[in-house]
């Protein structure tokens, strides 16, 4: 329902149908650093890795 409502609002804003298909456009390209950050963030969320371990991985100091 939310997506249909959003598409309806966008349709009225642009006064017509979509110019391109949904999902069209340039593919997402991530570098190795971006993949590392995403991997560590997901590991923190799913495995419960403490913030101190992430701070060591990123080379930053943890404030107490």
pLDDT of amino acid 38 = 86
- Residue 23, judged by CB atoms within 10 A of its CB (0-12, 13-18, 19+), counts as exposed
Span 5-50, pLDDT tens digits: 988 888 888 888 777 777 788 888 888 888 888 888 888 888 888 8
For residue 49, the model assigns a pLDDT of 81
Closest by CA position to 13, among listed 5, 21, 2, 25: 5
pLDDT at 55: 82
Which pLDDT score, from 0 to 100, does residue 16 have?
81
Q: State pTM to two decimals.
A: 0.41
Residue 43's pLDDT is 82
């Amino acid at each position: 329902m939310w997506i249909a409502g959003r598409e309806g609002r966008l349709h009225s804003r642009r006064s017509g149908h979509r110019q391109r298909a949904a999902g069209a456009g340039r593919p997402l390209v991530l570098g190795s650093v971006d993949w590392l950050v995403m991997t560590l963030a997901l590991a923190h969320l799913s495995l419960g890795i403490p913030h101190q371990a992430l701070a060591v991985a990123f080379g930053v100091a943890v404030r107490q």
